[in-house]
Structure 1
Amino acid sequence: MARMSFKRLLRHRLWDEADARRALPADALARLGQRVAASEARHTGEIRVCVEAGLPLSYLWRDAPARERAVTMFAKLRVWDTEHNNGVLLYLLLAEHRIEIVADRALARCVPAGHWQQLVDAMGEAFRAGRFEQGLADAIAAVDALLAAHFPRDAGAAAPRPNALPDEPVVIG
């Protein structure tokens, strides 16, 4: 069984929700939620943003990677529960400066893995410069373009499609 390192444990325990709120204050989260809502009016996909200060102790104890937590949050936030299997989770783990993008199967089949990595790299560059809101806004725009290209909203629909998931980013301390 893997053992957590003291250094990793300390790093994750030192980050808390206040750190996440400093990186993305309430007004920034509201603007990001509005971007998600505007995006979802153009396609049938769902976009969720999750910012987590540090991993739960159970993940640290198992020395689990950030990707495992992102996949778990993909399920917990019900991003997988979209009609066309085209949800996307943008996940940030502040304690490790990790960015994970989890795309549901239908969209993952349309987009090469290298494209997701380019998006992660661009987000990382913005975050290193302290531009968390801009990095996420750019990522939402990029995911929006992919979803609109592969899963456009039916322009002839009589009523707008119901919003299956909340648009506001989730912040976990």
Structure 2
Amino acid sequence: MNFARLTRHIFMPRRSLRRSFDEAALNAIEKAITDTEKTHGGEVRIALEASLDPAELFRDITPRQRALQAFSHLGVWDTELNNGVLIYVLWADRDVEIVADRGFNGRISAQEWSDVCHRMEQLFSQGSAASAMIAGIQAAGALISRHFPAADRNELPDRPTLL
């Protein structure tokens, strides 16, 4: 149990997430998803979470484990071509995780997804949360477009989800 992490999560109110991702930011992120999905056949979802509850922290739930739970909970796996991608942000940790469906196995490496995550985390530390999200969406879109050409379908909602 990491007490610094526990404290950070306990004192991270949901409104902190809402300040960083206000309505204008959520609209800009949604537009970025809509725009990038016009260039590829993948399905991108965003999940933003302020903090974990104390029980999850005592169980040492990692951001990656929580991202996998969100991937399942939001049904990102439920696309015809198995081409869903979740970009998950745990705001208290300023951690970004990308979970890609099995359609990307052998096509996009874990390192490529990790590079997108690290770049977003760097941008979060420099300022605008919305700009970091949009940059990440665009970078993920560029990776996806190499393997899933543009298709005229939208199977998952583009609106970011606040968990």
**Same fold by TM-score, threshold 0.5 exceeded?**
yes
Which residue does the alignment assign to 2:16? Answer: 19
Q: Which amino acid in structure 2 is aligned with residue 169 of structure 1?
A: P
What aligned pairs does 1:1-173 form with structure 2 within 5 A after superposition? 4-154=1-151, 160-161=152-153, 163-172=154-163
Deviation at 1:74, TM superposition (A): 0.6
SS at match of 1:109: coil
SS at match of 1:96: coil
Deviation at 1:16, TM superposition (A): 2.1
Residues 86, 103 of structure 1: 8 Å contact kept:
yes
Distance in 1 between residues matched to 2:5 and 2:138, nearest whole Å: 33
Deviation at 1:33, TM superposition (A): 0.4
Deviation at 1:133, TM superposition (A): 1.0
SS at match of 1:150: coil
Distance in 2 between residues matched to 1:115 and 1:141, nearest whole Å: 13
Deviation at 1:48, TM superposition (A): 0.7
Unaligned stretches of 5+ in structure 1? 155-159
Distance in 2 between residues matched to 1:105 and 1:44, nearest whole Å: 14
Residues 45, 82 of structure 1: 8 Å contact kept:
no
SS at match of 1:110: coil
RMSD of Structure 2 on Structure 1 (CA): 1.5
Length, aligned pairs only: 163
Q: TM-score, normalised by structure 2?
A: 0.92
Distance in 2 between residues matched to 1:41 and 1:57, nearest whole Å: 40
Distance in 1 between residues matched to 2:105 and 2:13, nearest whole Å: 32
Deviation at 1:57, TM superposition (A): 3.1
Q: TM-score, normalised by structure 1?
A: 0.87
Deviation at 1:6, TM superposition (A): 4.2
Deviation at 1:58, TM superposition (A): 3.1
Query: Matched residues, percent identical?
Result: 39
Q: Any runs of at least 4 consecutive aligned residues in structure 1 with deviations exceeding 4 A, and if so which?
A: none
SS at match of 1:83: coil
Residues 40, 144 of structure 2: 8 Å contact kept:
yes
Deviation at 1:122, TM superposition (A): 1.0
Deviation at 1:86, TM superposition (A): 1.1
